[in-house]
Amino acid sequence: MFENRENETSGIENLGEFGLIDHLTKNFTINQKSTVKGIGDDAAVIACDSKMELVITTDLLLENVHFDLSYMPLKHLGYKAVVVNLSDVYAMNAEPTQITVSIAVSNRFPVEALEELYAGITAASKFYNVDVVGGDTTSSTTGLLISITAIGTVKKGEAILRSGAGVNDLLVVTGDLGAAYMGLQVLEREKQVFLVNPNSQPDLEPYSYLVERQLKPEARKDIPALLKELGVKPTSMIDISDGLSSEIIHLCKNSEVGCNLYEDKIPLDPQVITVCEEFNIDSTTIALNGGEDYELLFTIKTEDFEKVKGNPHLTIIGHMTEEKEGTHLITRANTKIPLIARGWNPLENKD
């Protein structure tokens, strides 16, 4: 009846996040006609009626793994928990419509604190025009846990998958990269200062953009509309939650293509460049591996180049190649370095 599982040591650290998902899900089969796309994209796609498809995606946030309440206000946490899910909906070219919210809490949290969390959820649901239609509430013996599921709609056949990129397609990214990760580094540093000297109050003004990107990210709801306006239909799309490098590899694997990414094209905010110098970290490494940017990464056909060129929201950062050529970063010094997906590793706490 009672089993000691501690000695069963097929360590998940060898698989990493993506290897673990593949390993655990490889035996699932699709048996329902309505399942258009199952595991393996930003969201699943479910047939609805002759005109519409539904997309559905879920994310789990755990205290002290995904957020630290010593600098993450609960209102922001609620907002961010919604945003990270909606980002996956937009990455499918879909419009989010509903969310469900599940929480596990300990009695360490007064009602007022949970009201704050829900004020953030309410603000995000208003801004992104989604209805909160359910959830679950339970107790936790450790930290706070929040899990959100988002549902969206897309015209039948218009969902953009990770698998549609072709050889020679251009690789495009929205916004700029690395700011959320550097925001986290700044907040972590100030936390350590505060622990030593509780009377100190940090001056975060020079880091305002970075801290905002970490504490109050937004999902790119403007991009599907912008692409429609420009008359561009991406061939593949993904959102950037785990870092540019890892997301490029997802697009390449799913589309069976390779990629050349150009270091000098990667969009960086001036604050990222400055703070990387201050921390003595390479800004390209941060853009490639930082994560939590919630920007969209997509591929377009070469004939759409003129439509995208010069758009302030969009940067062409590379192009797709034959699969056998692999996925590479072409550095400023014109050397070719293989891209590595770091993702999440349970024994290597990247944050």
Query: Annotated binding site: which residue ranges?
Result: 42, 57-59, 66, 88, 118, 135-136, 162, 239, 241-242, 292, 344
The token pair that represents 234 in the structure block:
């991406």
* Closer residue to ligand ADP, CB minimum distance, 59 or 63: 59
Binder among 12, 15, 35, 40 for ligand ADP (CB under 6 A):
40
* Closer residue to ligand ADP, CB minimum distance, 59 or 304: 59
Q: How far is the CB of 87 from Mg ion (least distance, A)?
A: 7
In the sheet where 145-155 sits, what is the strand order? 35-37, 44-47, 52-62, 145-155, 95-105, 131-139
DSSP 214-265: HHS----THHHHHHHHHT---SEEEE-SS-HHHHHHHHHHHHTEEEEEEGGG
Binder among 36, 42, 288, 300 for ligand ADP (CB under 6 A):
42
269 makes contact with Mg ion (CB under 5 A): no
The contact mask relative to Mg ion for 26-45 (x = CB under 5 A, - = no) is ----------------x---
53 makes contact with ligand ADP (CB under 6 A): no
Binder among 14, 23, 25, 229 for ligand ADP (CB under 6 A):
25
Q: What is the CA radius of gyration of the chain?
A: 21
Stretch that binds ligand ADP, among 38-46, 130-138, 269-277, 303-311 (CB under 6 A): 38-46
Q: Which position has the token pair 């599982």?
A: 5
* Closer residue to Mg ion, CB minimum distance, 116 or 242: 242
Binder among 153, 241, 284, 321 for ligand ADP (CB under 6 A):
241
Q: How far is the CB of 61 from ligand ADP (least distance, A)?
A: 12
* Closer residue to ligand ADP, CB minimum distance, 58 or 331: 58
Compute how many other C-beta atoms are within 10 angstroms of the C-beta atom of residue 183: 28
Q: Is 38 left (phi over 0), alpha (psi -120 to 50) or beta?
A: beta
- Could you tell me which residues come within 8 angstroms of residue 285 by beta carbon, excluding any fewer than 6 positions away? none
Please say whether the dihedral angle defined by the alpha carbons of residues 342, 216, 280 and 268, taken in this order, is positive or negative: positive
Specify whether the CB–CB gap between 181 and 286 falls below 8 A.
yes
The token pair that represents 306 in the structure block:
């003129």
195 makes contact with ligand ADP (CB under 6 A): no
Compute how many other C-beta atoms are within 10 angstroms of the C-beta atom of residue 304: 20
For ligand ADP, the binding residues (CB under 6 A) are: 21, 24-25, 39-42, 59, 88, 241-242
